[in-house]
């Protein structure tokens, strides 16, 4: 099954911020992070941490874990792409259960 490239959470957040007509500086101040940190997330140069997920959830009314789940899907997709370039890892055989 081919997995499509999930959007980075920053791309989704950009849309929310655009709809709210709020600047990066104002939103960063509102959620209590630096403008640089928020900009890194928005531009896909940093992932969403658990702390950032909670801050975004409180500010935007999403459930805790919403942003982190998006980040996990993105990370899993990236890892699956990288795994295509390395040798396949064979499944380990189970050790016999002692009697």
Which residue ranges make up each domain of the chain?
A: 9-72
Per-residue pLDDT of the chain (99 residues; tens, 9 = 90+): 666 899 999 999 999 999 999 999 999 999 999 999 999 999 999 999 999 999 999 999 999 999 999 999 999 999 999 999 999 999 999 888 887
Instruction: Give Cβ neighbours of residue 53 (< 8 Å, ≥ 6 apart).
Output: 64, 65, 66, 67, 68, 71
Cα radius of gyration (the chain)? 18
Is 59:48 a contact under the CB 8 Å cutoff?
no
**What is the CATH class of 9-72?**
mainly alpha
pLDDT at 87: 94
pLDDT at 14: 98
In terms of DSSP H, where are the helices of the chain? Answer: 9-20, 24-31, 35-42, 50-60, 66-83
DSSP 81-97: HHHTTSPPPPPPPPPPP
Q: What is the distance between the alpha carbons of residues 14 and 9, in angstroms, rounded to a whole number?
A: 9
d(CA 87, CA 70): 28
């Amino acid at each position: 099954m081919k997995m499509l490239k999930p959007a980075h959470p920053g791309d989704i957040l950009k849309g929310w911020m655009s709809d709210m007509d709020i600047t990066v500086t104002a939103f960063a101040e509102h959620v209590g992070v630096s403008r640089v940190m928020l900009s890194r997330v928005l531009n896909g140069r940093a992932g969403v941490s658990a702390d950032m997920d909670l801050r975004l959830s409180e500010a935007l009314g999403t459930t805790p874990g919403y942003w982190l789940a998006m980040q996990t899907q993105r990370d899993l997709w990236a890892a699956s792409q990288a795994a295509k370039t390395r040798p396949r890892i064979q499944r380990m055989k189970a050790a016999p259960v002692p009697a």
